[in-house]
Structure 1
Amino acid sequence: MKKIMLCIACFTLALACYGQKNSIIELNGSWSFKKGDNPKWAKPKVNTASWDNRILPVWDWDINYLGYGWYRKEVTLTAQETYFFNLGQADDDCEVYFNGEPLKLYISKRPGNDNADTSKWNQWKKYRSYYIPAKLVKSNEKNTIAIRVWNTLGAQGGIRYGNIFIGNTVFYNQLPVEMQGNWLKTDGSNEWLIGIYNSKIAYKGKVWDYSNIKKENDGFAISIINGGKTETIFAKMDAATGNCLIGTNDKSLELCSLGETNKPLSDTGKLQNYTQADTTSGKAYFSGYIKDFVPAKGIDAVIELRALNSGQSFEKRMPVNADGTFSMDIPLNGAHQLLLRLPNISETIPAYVAPGKKTFVGIDPEEFKIRVTNEYYNRDRPTLYMGDAVLQNKLTLQTTWLNSLVEDDKKVWDRFVYTGGQYAAASYADEQLNDIAAYIGQNYNKYGDTAALKSAKLWSARTLIASPENAIFNSTFNLILQNLGEHLEGLQYRVKALRIAEKTKNAEQVSAYKQQIKKYVSDMIKN
């Protein structure tokens, strides 16, 4: 019995110690390469003195070469435990061997990355990960990775895109690999509840280490730790759907999926009194996590901040920690758009920050590697924000996607309109709601979406009823009414009369015309 208890204690301690590790071995760079195909090249001991050197990842094959090629590299691992090998994309397709043994391909279940797609034309799109069982690992010795790649469909081949690295993982042995990913609530909110990764967990706007993992009641009790604070999460896979049940215990579980779930929205129609959004001064709290971060010395991110009320901008440098976490308290006057630029990531990541509000962003570097027309923007990747301004952040990102499309894409547009509906359903009546309505008014015709324009009319009316003197709100409402072919004369007359009353500082008339505008708009949207 003592031996059993000792084993359990050692196992728990091992997990606790593992939770503190974030060991990533970068394998980008020089690999041995040889054209042709020979099964012996998978074996551990191969003389590669005559092989070429190729820098990966890159489309590196000779133009018009159709056929096979092999890449090989040696790596020293310090412990005999399970690892994961991240390869990225291979064109057209590939097989991977570790110390001569084939590894089973695991396609990370990010939306648009379909493991079930067996079409030979689509294999190059997959982001490839492989789990290396502990029994194959030789600790403190050289281990050999061999990759057999073939290109039979196009002019270029090779290891296409993606960071190549080996890292520690809790999956395969402690947790099922299907549990890996960013899990969103399926209640229609699409709230990002948790990110479960190889060596970290994103939860409640923080990054946590694994402390202990215990199997119970057909699921897993996962203990996590952050700065001395501990929490326990219960997670259970639904084998039939591939979704995951997640909660603080096995009695309070929420169904989550890796993709978004849109459901009919309920807008209470309750109007708030208008106040200009986030005009106070104070600190905004911005933080996040780069999944499977490959550390380097002196890594800094650059953040550009643009004031939403004036457009003025400034920049700051922000260090990125070795485990991929980052955080900064930013003194601000009013709300700002934040543009995050990270090393080795080609795209700028937008966020919404404001005094007194917390914004946490999750970043998967693999999401920024694919560049195939609109596929980069429209393959259902989730918007990974936690904190106090999630909807504002989602709208900021989705507007960026829409503006970056090479060709108009209804799928991206529908996601933006749905999030706009979520914002309206939360009973806001502010600049953000006006911006949503204005964007729809300016762009609905590209998508033939009159239904969205009619919704935008209601949202714009809400802002105008809350603040009838706001010239920008009036302009948005007029634009939408013009697009719908509705009459404006009565409203325009009252707005002009209000402007005159404001200039003459006639408080009684200002109040009267505001009430008239509110009633006019209210009557208009009732009809």
Structure 2
Amino acid sequence: MKKYLIVIILLAIQAVVLGQDTRRLMNLRGHWKFSIGDRPEWSKTNYDDSDWEEIYVPERWEREGFNGYDGFAWYRTKFSGKGLNKDRYHLISLGYIDDVDEVFINGVKIGFSGGFEPFYYTAWNAERVYMIPPEVLNYNGDNQIAVRVYDQGGEGGIYSGSVGILYLDDYSAKEQVFLQGVWKIKIDDDPDFAKVAYDDSNWQNVMVPSNWKTIGIFDLNDFAWYRKTFTLQPGTSTTDMTLIGGKIDDFDEIYINGVKIGETNDGKWLGSSRSFSELRVYNIPNGLLKPGKNVIAVRVEDIGDNGGIYEGPVVIMPTSEATRYARKSSWWR
């Protein structure tokens, strides 16, 4: 029953991305490199896949000559960054994947759906659309895509849907800083977690926005922290900016570069508290954001049932635009 619930949650998460105004920039349907098995170096940009098989994407791998195969397999292909606009945010659409996936661009993990063993759960009917951080892209040459797939049974692979590179039509990479994507999470509570220099490299990965149930956490009723390092692109303002932090179940404190910028906690018990339904909108003190690398940390207290940063948008933008963007309900519903 929990696995079916997780699939429903994943479908809702993808609606957050698909609800934004996206346009297709390039079509990636066609023959990709393919290998069964599982080796971490297959995510790397410089890995030599010249002797791999080729497989058509999208199509079930059983119909491409791998009938009866269950387990791990990897896909790889490249696309040129020369047609990308540095002022736009780009996404990758991979359609539907049976069952579980992790996606790497130029060796950096940018998204995942489902859960690998030993905490397996399928995401076979959740459409994959992942934001690509601008700092990951090579705008002057090739970009390497690597997709790790696990199929537990039946048919597997990148099997249907739209496959390509998209861009957000109305949003500029120089004006907004999208924070949706892969974050770090740890179930614990320590004030040091807010510090910029804290080492979170051994923390678990989590997609934001998503419910904790998508990573196998049920009814936590405790504290957890999120962390993410993000990059301000050249030309992005560091003053008069606001964080729209999505919706968080239940209470939160949010820190940027070690400084608390806001919190939401109505102090009520499960069943009467409405903090989980409030969109977090916090002004960022001038001088706090820095050109280049920055760190955001979110302390979350769950008082029962669901938990986590479960709805977007999660984005930093000019304060003058924050109200207008927050009112665009298609972003998070």
TM-score by length of 2: 0.44
Q: Which has the higher helix share?
A: 1
Q: Which has the higher strand share?
A: 2
- Looking at both structures, which has the greater relative contact order when contacts are Cα pairs under 8 Å and sequence separation is at least 6? 2
TM-score by length of 1: 0.29
Q: Could you say which structure has the larger radius of gyration?
A: 1
